[in-house]
Chains A and B, each alone.
Chain A
Amino acid sequence: MHYLGTATVKFKQSVLEPQGKAIQLSLHENGYKGIELVRVGKHIEVTLQAESIEEARSNMNQIAEELLYNPVMEVCEIHVEEIQAK
């Protein structure tokens, strides 16, 4: 079975996120009203083969913890869904 795993990696709220800050400044300078906060994160897609969605989810959790995010500064949300083989 084929699965699409996505990891959404965001900086913790307490951590400075410079790209968002720059975008926010640009929006303000361009006159957009009501913009309160912009935060940029990462969206990482992984296609993988596994016997079941549980196994795919477990594999995604493992690679996320091992490499995709650093819990000292980031948080990570994992989503897994079945996809058709290409």
Chain B
Amino acid sequence: MKAGILTFPGSNCDKDLGNVLREFYGIEVEYLWHTSAFAIEHDLYFVPGGFSYGDYLRSGAMAAKAPSLKSLREASEKGRVITGICNGFQILTEAHLLPGALIRNDSLKHICEWVDLKGEGEFSFLPEDFALPVSHSEGNYLIDPDGLQSLEENQQIILRYRKNPNGSVADIAGIQSANGRIIGLMPHPERAFFPAMDYNQSLPIPGKTFLDRIFARV
């Protein structure tokens, strides 16, 4: 199995993600730089966190127009599983691969902490005490009432905050496309794989518990 990780000037979670994919899933990882289109020869794709293009204009706006995104769109048309994490989620909304937008946290502060999360739909198997780290300034998910209704009806909301840290509509922390092939998350599963990353060691590995379910869709 082979994963493609899209990278942009300012990506900074790409290496962490690649390391856990290699170490915990034993798969090949290829980094895909923003300036080129790529052949759709990977089993799944990730758009990692960071500050693509310095977050100029709007978070994710410039990255959404990069040549590599044209290929990612092609991959989505072929039904490949695509996961955007944090800035990756912002990029997927700016590229209209997922609905809505992510705006400034209502606290006006950058948040860097572990948050308690509730899985919905296919992710409702997640344990009661499930948590992942977040680190963002623009994680406040915004969508109009019709869009929200459509997300709810199609079971596109996959993760909600148990205690809303950023003002997101309906406590939304993660969503998926109507066909379930494109996933956008503000929390960082790749930052929850090693005990040194400060998770409760009596639990199963939180990041892996989550990503296993993504891999099950491939």
Q: Which B residues contact A (CB, under 8 angstroms)?
A: 57-58, 61-62, 65, 93-94, 100-101, 103-104, 106, 108, 140, 142-144, 167
Contact = CB atoms under 8 A, between A and B. Distances in A.
B106 A70 contact: no
Interface of A: 15-16, 18, 21-22, 66-68, 70, 72-73
B143 A22 contact: no
A67 B65 contact: yes
Contact of B57 (A16, A21, A22, A67): A67
Contacts of A21: 108
Nearest to B60: A70
Given A16-B104, A70-B58, 15 more contacts: A15-B103, A15-B142, A16-B103, A16-B167, A18-B104, A22-B108, A67-B57, A67-B62, A70-B61, A70-B101, A72-B93, A72-B101, A72-B142, A72-B144, A73-B142
A73 B101 CA distance: 7
Contacts of B103: 15-16, 73
Contacts, number: 30
Nearest to B106: A16
A18 B57 contact: no
A67 B56 CA distance: 11
Contacts of B62: 67
Nearest to A74: B58
Q: Name the prevailing secondary structure of the A interface residues.
A: helix
5 contacts: A15-B103, A16-B103, A16-B104, A66-B65, A72-B144
Contacts of A66: 65
Contacts of B61: 67, 70
Nearest to B109: A18
Contacts of B144: 72
Contacts of B104: 16, 18
B106 to A, nearest CB: 6
Nearest to B140: A16
Contacts of A15: 103, 142
Nearest to B101: A72
Nearest to B108: A18
A74 B108 CA distance: 18
A68 B57 contact: yes
Contacts of B93: 72
A82 B144 CA distance: 38
Contacts of B65: 66-67
Contacts of A68: 57
B17 to A, nearest CB: 26
A15 B104 CA distance: 9
